[in-house]
Each structure stands twice: as C-alpha cells, then as structure tokens.
Amino acid sequence: MAPRRPKLAVFKFASCDGCQLTLLNCEDELLAIAGEVEIANFLEASRAVVKGPYDLALVEGSITTPEDAERIHKVRRMSRTLVTIGACATAGGIQGLRNFKDVHEFVSSVYATPEYISTLEASTPIAQHVRVDFELRGCPISRAQLLEVLGAFLRGRRPNIPTYSLCFECKRQGTVCVMVAHGTPCLGPVTQAGCGALCPSYHRGCYGCFGPMESPNTASLGARWEAMGAARPDLVRAFRTYNAAAIPFRAASEAYEQQEP
Amino acid sequence: MQPGDSVVIERVVLDALLAALRERGYETVGPTVREGAIVYDEIRATSDLPAGWTDEQEGGHYRLRRDDREALFGYAVGPHSWRRYLEPPSLVRWRGRRVDGGFEDDLTPGPPPRYAFVGVRPCELAALLVKDRILLGDPGADPDYRSRRESAFLVAVNCGSPAGTCFCVSMGTGPRFGPGFDLGLTELVDDARHDFVLQVGTARGAAVVEGLPHRPAEPADLTAAEAVLREAEGRMGRSLETEGLKERLERSYENPHWDEVAKRCLSCGNCTMVCPTCFCSTVEDSTDLPGTRAERRRIWDSCFSIEFSYVHGGSVRTSAGARYRQWITHKLATWHDQFGVSGCVGCGRCITWCPVGIDITAEARAIGGPAEAAGSRP
C-alpha cells in the first residue's frame, strides 16, 4: 500500500488572499503538489473539506477580531506543522497600520452602524497567539519559496529560506545598486531577501515587502536616506507599509515620528 | 612578436582585436553601460564599450558622467568584477535522480566557457592572482574555477582614470599592471591622437597581435603612456598606510571602535559581494516536490550574514561589530597568514558600494592606524 499522503490545509485570517493564491499560481507544480499531499482543506480551490487533523497547515492573515483570536487556537490544535505565510500572518500586514491609531475612530467614520463591528485594537501576527513552526515572509510570498518550504516539509529537511538582506540578491543577480548609483532611497539593506530583488531590478527602491532582515540597522539606513534628501515623514511612511507592525520597522517609524522634522 | 614586446594599435584596430578573439572561440566580456553604471557583460564590438563615459565615485556614491575625450576606458572599476564569470554567483555542483534502490548522477557538465576579459584593470589583475592562490592552491583547489581561469584570455588595461575611492597605489597593485595578462593596453587619447600602446604578455597574446595592423612603439609612445600612469598615480582618491597595519589590527581585537562601526554598518553584505578577492560561498541542497530529484548549488555567501558563522549551538558572530571586525581583519591581516598576500587590492568597490559609505581606509586608520594619521585624507 502506498504511504498515506500528508494532509494539507490552508486557513485564512485577515488578509487579501494573495498569498494562498500563490499556491494556486504554482500552475506547473500544482499537479506535483496534489500528487504529494492531500489537499484536504483549501476553500479558495474547493468547497470539499476533509476534516482534520492536518499534517501541514498554511496560515494566511493576521488576527484582528475576537473570533479569530479564538479560531487560531483551534487551527493550531488540529495541525501538526503550522506554517504562516505572508506579511499579514508573520507581521500583522498592512492592516497593522491600525496599531498606530485609534481603531474605534476608523470604525465610527467608515461604518454606518459601528456597533455591528467587533474588532481588536491591533492587528497581530499569528506567532503572537500560537506556536508557529515556520514563518514564510512576503507581500505576497514568493512562489519559489513556497515550493521550497513544501519540498522541505515533505522530505523532512530544513527549508533554504535565508534571513539576510535583499542586497545579497541584487549583487548575485548583478543588479546595479539603485541607492548608490541612482540616489534612489531603498529599504533593501534592512529587508529580508526572498523576492529576487524585484523592485531594484526595475530601478525602484525596495519597499520592504519581506519585512526586516535578521539584523536590521534602520537608524543607519534612515540617516543615509535623510542625507539623500528624505524627510522624516517620508521615513515614517517607508517603514509603515505591509510590515509596519514588525518590531524593528515599528520602532523605526515611531522613532522618526517622534523626532522633530 | 614575443612576450615583452610593445606595439601601437589605432583605436579602430580594437574592433579587429575583439573579432580575432571571437574567431578563436572566446566570448568577449568587458565594460558596458547598463542601469546607470559601468558593468561587465558580453561585448561584441567597441561600440558596446562605454565610449565617452567616466564615473564619479565616493563613499556610497556612484554616478556616470560624460567625458568629451571619448576615451573607451576613461573610468575606474564599477560594481561588477570578473569573479562573476570565474566563480558564478550560483552554480550547480551536483544533481541526482532517484532510481530503484538508490540514485544516479544527473548532471552532464558542458565544456567550460571560454572568456576573453577585455578591460581588466591592474587592481583586478592583482585580484585574480590573489584568487589563484586561494582557488588553485593546494589543498582546496576548485576544479570549476581552474577550468574557467585557465581558458580565460586577459586583455588588461592600464588605469588612467582612478576614482575617488581608489587606493591601488597604497596596495601596490596599480595604476600600472603587473604580470598575468595576455595583452595589456594603455589608452592614449587627446586632441591629436586616439590609439593604444599594446604590451604583449604571452605567446598566445602575441599570436593574436600578429594578425592585427600595428606599428612598433616609439619612445614617444612609451613616454606618453608613462605620463598617463604618472598622472593617475597622483590622483588616488584614498590611501592606506600598510606598513605595520597587520600587526596593529591584530592588537585591536578589543578596540571600542568596532562598536562605533557597528552603529553605521548595515550588515547588508554589499562590501563582500563587490569585493574582487572575496571568495566565500555556501552550499544549498534542494529537492523537488516528489523527491525524485535533488540538486546541490554553490552560491555566493558573505561573512556579514548571521548564518555564515553558524556552528553547533549558534552563530559565533552575532553582532555587526564582530562581523565587520572579521571582514576587515581577514582582508588586511589574517589573509597574509593564510595566503601570503593582502586580501585588499585597493579597488575601492567596498567603499563606493557600501550604501552608507563605510570606508575601509578610514576604518583601518581609526582602528589600527598610527594615531597621527587618524581621520586624515590624502
């Protein structure tokens, strides 16, 4: 008898679905994935749900509601290995911008009947609620990195997902540094590699979609941005995007916000 | 024609030289303008070269500028080095396929690429010789490097346009080339002339030149070439006092200045990725989803990543200061013990391409330099 295929489940919390869509976008590899795992619970692909427990859970999205703060514990209990995918799940996502403001003000100005809305003060990453076995960064995640994590899981090996800076990727590709050669502010030196240095290869500065690298020196990079003409509010905005609530980026944006321009 | 001879070729003959190299089966690689910088890529004719371009370089700063002399080599080194071709950033070292009861090799290596590097600067030629000690030495010789290196044809170009971050004079590697080239050029360009003094370095170089229009170099040509180099020597943007530097660095492992550098250092790895003598790589094994194929790749690594110094139980160098100290003391001190030569050739790339402009010459002065020279600039 063939060995039982591991059961894969995909769970969604507060997110745009782009990261789980990356799984569907695997196109060429999708049949291979379906051959190696039993896609047991993946609502974006099929309404048919095989009940847990699951061998591997891919969790997308952040925790923003009291219901989700409960639900993530259920997901954890029915998952042997839990991998969070994307900036929402690993750092709180773009909705982590609420963490810097009063969410009730948003609710009362956006919704006709604010009392129907039950939401938390802050958007938080999954790892703040339950034990996470591996975090895959990105907004959205990289298809190649997702396949690497799946391949590593299936073979029981450690995935090759580096945590060093984006600059490693630019230099290996031979992409000319946009900061040094063009004077374009770039978050690459403080951002984790993984996207293939997409923006610099199109002559744009890195936006930090993959979140802080392993030892981000945001103060030194920020000082350089200022020397290149960036104002403090520019720095606050740069650190406040998809990974705004990641601790090093959060600390940087708050520091620049507090300083006089 | 034999090694040691010097002739003069006109600018147009450079196209014939490129064609002759291509006819001999070389892929001609050299400087070209791309993405606002002078990088290395395939060049088919002199029209691919950065004619009339020069560069402006400072710590963390690089800009191309027009230069009406229309020189073909009127600039210093850019972000790329020949390392890209001799030690590719990502190289498959092994590939295997699962078969019944085991696996079989599934990588059929093709013939090594045959490159002709056109425009190898003296500092880069020196860097290649440093690399040869490391990668052709025993033990640890790298067969892939050997096959690429041995088939490479080197057209060196003396440097008449050092940049603001250059200090090859301090390192004894330029601006005039030492041995190791097949052909060596010195560009002579002014209102009256645009030609090249061509020095023959090897017999295979001589064989190429014999088929090209040339005339013997007159004393006036050699004097003009010498004047270009004399002038370049005086225009080094940086300097580094190497006398006693190794010993001073070796006494400075606990220097508080490492923490000061750490405040600026991004640990981004750019300095190591642009350095022509850095050689560190890591090996990554990967598998496909069904587990039927596996692959081992060698990719460029850097001592600035935390993983780099991972040993059982954790990383040895977790602070940026420790990593910077490792890098600079290896380059300027322990490299001598390991390979009998400095790991720095004074090309200035690590200064220019550091996003925050950390300057190896200034840090070496601050850490291991004579107190009276601290902070001084040439």
Residue A218 is part of which domain span?
167-258
Specify if A1 maps to a domain. Answer: no
B53 in A contact zone (CB under 8 Å): no
Does the pLDDT of residue B371 top 60, yes or no? Answer: no
Give the mutation candidate from B289, B292, B317 for the A interface (greatest A CB count, under 10 A). B289
Nearest CB partner across the interface for B287, out of A155, A164, A179: A155
Confidence label for B376 from pLDDT (cuts 50, 70 and 90): very low
Give B-chain residues touching A173 at CB under 8 angstroms: 89
Domain identity same for A148 and A177: no
Confidence label for B306 from pLDDT (cuts 50, 70 and 90): very high
Domain identity same for A129 and A172: no
Number of structural domains chain A divides into: 2
Predicted confidence at residue B137, as pLDDT, reads 84
Predicted confidence at residue A3, as pLDDT, reads 73
Strand ranges for A3-103 from DSSP E: 7-12, 38-41, 54-60, 79-85
What values do phi and psi take at A115, rounded to 5?
-70, -15
Would you give the distance in Å from CA A37 to the centre of its chain? Answer: 24
Predicted confidence at residue B375, as pLDDT, reads 43
Binary contact (B60, A167; C-beta < 8 A): no
CA distance B321 to chain A (A): 12
- The H-assigned helical ranges of chain B are 13-23, 83-86, 122-135, 143-151, 168-171, 203-210, 219-233, 245-250, 257-264, 270-274, 320-329, 335-339, 349-352, 360-368
Domain identity same for A141 and A246: no
Give the mutation candidate from A37, A39, A166, A167 for the B interface (greatest B CB count, under 10 A). A167
Predicted confidence at residue B373, as pLDDT, reads 44
Does the pLDDT of residue A1 top 60, yes or no? Answer: no
Mean pLDDT of B76-99: 97
Q: What percentage of residues in chain B have a pLDDT greater than 90? A: 92
B290 in A contact zone (CB under 8 Å): yes
Domain identity same for A88 and A135: yes
- Which amino acid does the sequence have at B25? G
Domain identity same for A16 and A141: yes
- pLDDT of A172-208, one tens digit each? 999 999 999 999 999 999 999 999 999 999 999 999 9
Q: Domain with A48 in it: what CATH number?
A: 3.40.50.700
CB count within 10 Å of CB B237 equals: 20
What's the rounded Cα separation, in Å, for the pair A226 and A235? Answer: 8
Give the mutation candidate from B40, B80, B87, B267 for the A interface (greatest A CB count, under 10 A). B267
Specify if A194 maps to a domain. Answer: yes
Domain identity same for A73 and A185: no
Specify if A206 maps to a domain. Answer: yes
Confidence label for B101 from pLDDT (cuts 50, 70 and 90): confident
Predicted confidence at residue B61, as pLDDT, reads 98
Residue with the two structure tokens 């514990």: A73
Sheet containing B281-287: order of strands: B102-105, B90-99, B293-300, B281-287
- pLDDT of B153-175, one tens digit each? 999 999 999 999 999 999 999 99
CA distance A65 to chain B (A): 36
Mean pLDDT of B219-243: 96
Binary contact (B273, A180; C-beta < 8 A): no
- pLDDT of B105-154, one tens digit each? 999 888 889 999 999 999 999 999 999 999 998 777 899 999 999 999 99
Domain identity same for A138 and A69: yes
Q: What percentage of residues in chain A have a pLDDT greater than 90? A: 95
- pLDDT of A142-174, one tens digit each? 999 999 999 999 999 999 999 999 999 999 999
B268 in A contact zone (CB under 8 Å): yes
Predicted confidence at residue B374, as pLDDT, reads 43
B117 in A contact zone (CB under 8 Å): no
Predicted confidence at residue B110, as pLDDT, reads 85
Q: What percentage of residues in chain B have a pLDDT greater than 70? A: 97
A56 in B contact zone (CB under 8 Å): no
Give B-chain residues touching A148 at CB under 8 angstroms: 286
Specify if A161 maps to a domain. Answer: no
Mean of the per-residue pLDDT values of chain A: 96
A155 in B contact zone (CB under 8 Å): yes
Residue with the two structure tokens 């020279």: B373
Cis? peptide before B219, omega within 30° of 0: no
Predicted confidence at residue A4, as pLDDT, reads 86
Predicted confidence at residue B249, as pLDDT, reads 95
Give A-chain residues touching B351 at CB under 8 angstroms: none
Q: Chain B residue closest to A177 (CA)?
A: B353
- The H-assigned helical ranges of B241-357 are 245-250, 257-264, 270-274, 320-329, 335-339, 349-352
Of A155, A186, A213, which residue sits at a domain end?
A155
Of A133, A155, A177, which residue sits at a domain end?
A155
Residue B245 contacts residue B175 (beta carbons within 8 Å)? no
Nearest CB partner across the interface for B269, out of A155, A165, A223: A165
What's the rounded Cα separation, in Å, for the pair B287 and A202? Answer: 30
- pLDDT of B258-304, one tens digit each? 999 999 999 999 999 999 999 999 999 999 998 899 999 999 999 99
Mean pLDDT of B341-351: 98
Of A123, A155, A187, which residue sits at a domain end?
A155
CA distance A226 to chain B (A): 11
ipTM at complex level: 0.95
Dihedral Cα B133, B136, B142, B147, nearest 10 deg: 130
B282 in A contact zone (CB under 8 Å): no
Mean of the per-residue pLDDT values of chain B: 95
What's the rounded Cα separation, in Å, for the pair B278 and B84? Answer: 11
Nearest CB partner across the interface for A151, out of B62, B267, B286: B286
Domain identity same for A210 and A252: yes
Domain identity same for A12 and A132: yes
A5 in B contact zone (CB under 8 Å): no
Mean pLDDT of B185-192: 95
Predicted confidence at residue B370, as pLDDT, reads 56
Domain identity same for A78 and A134: yes
Predicted confidence at residue A260, as pLDDT, reads 61
Specify if A2 maps to a domain. Answer: no
CA distance A224 to chain B (A): 6
Predicted confidence at residue A2, as pLDDT, reads 63
